[in-house]
Amino acid sequence: MPETSLSAQEFLAIADHTLLAPGTTPDELDTFISGAASLGVARVCVSPSLLPAASHGREIVTVVGFPSGAQHVEMKVAETARAVADGADEIDMVVNRGLVRAGDWAAVEREIRFVRAACFGRVLKVIIESAALSDEEIVGACRAAEAAGADFVKTSTGFDPAGGASVHAVRLMAATVGGKLGIKASGGIRTAAAVRELWAAGATRFGVSGTAAILAEWDGAGSSAGSVSGGY
């Protein structure tokens, strides 16, 4: 558990300000990214079909195999290569949950390795959809991601009905990777209290869409159980 509190500026440095709503137009995207620059976040996470886009000085994160993760690995590799060509700095891939639930760890690792090769030199995060997995499956997915050379494991897409980030999942993921990978918490993180809970549990990056609202109530936020809810 971190020994010091997380400041608003430190949060901005580890927040992926997120816009993944279907139907977003290029003009809406540009407004969003310019607004992210005004907020002071380091990076934005947006849909791959909207790239390339003016970054306004932000790093660009995009998603692959989103949101189900059920695509063939060849499709994820092609999507990754296109995202890199279109200027993505970081890739958040959704793992094939069926392979995870089947315990086919060799296949899970193989899939991640192929995507890793397609975005070599970029940051790769593996979305495991933790709310839909057992503890044993979470541990196995994290170990496969580490073995395949990923940089982060990520809790959730924010689009699954099972829910988003939880303190329990983040704590388990952090204990499993032991600092060798980062932990991105995403899905249902809507308050500064939730950010602080998840950071204390071991999160090192956050996927958030309501960044401005979180910042607005930062100084008055304490810690309250149950402040993380489902949804992005």
Per-residue pLDDT at 75 exceeds 60: yes
Q: Could you tell me if 195 and 226 are in contact, meaning their C-beta atoms sit under 8 angstroms apart?
A: no
Q: What does the pLDDT look like over 120-138, one tens digit per residue?
A: 999 999 999 999 999 999 9
Contact status, residue 104 vs residue 73, Cβ threshold 8 Å? no
Prior bond of 48 cis (ω within 30°): no
CA dist 68 → 71, 81, 98, 126, 171 (Å): 8, 19, 10, 13, 24
pTM for this entry: 0.94
pLDDT at 219: 81
Query: Active-site residues: which are they?
Result: 92, 154, 184
In the predicted model, what is the mean pLDDT of residues 85-96?
98
DSSP annotation of 132 reads G
Give the number of other CB atoms < 10 A from CB of residue 189: 32
Q: What residues form DSSP beta bridges with 59?
A: 43
Of 6, 71, 19, nearest to 232 (Cα)? Answer: 19
Q: Which CATH number fits domain 8-216: 3.40.50.720, 3.20.20.70, 3.90.380.10, 3.40.50.300?
A: 3.20.20.70
| Banded pLDDT at 199 (limits 50, 70, 90) | very high
pLDDT at 229 over 60: no
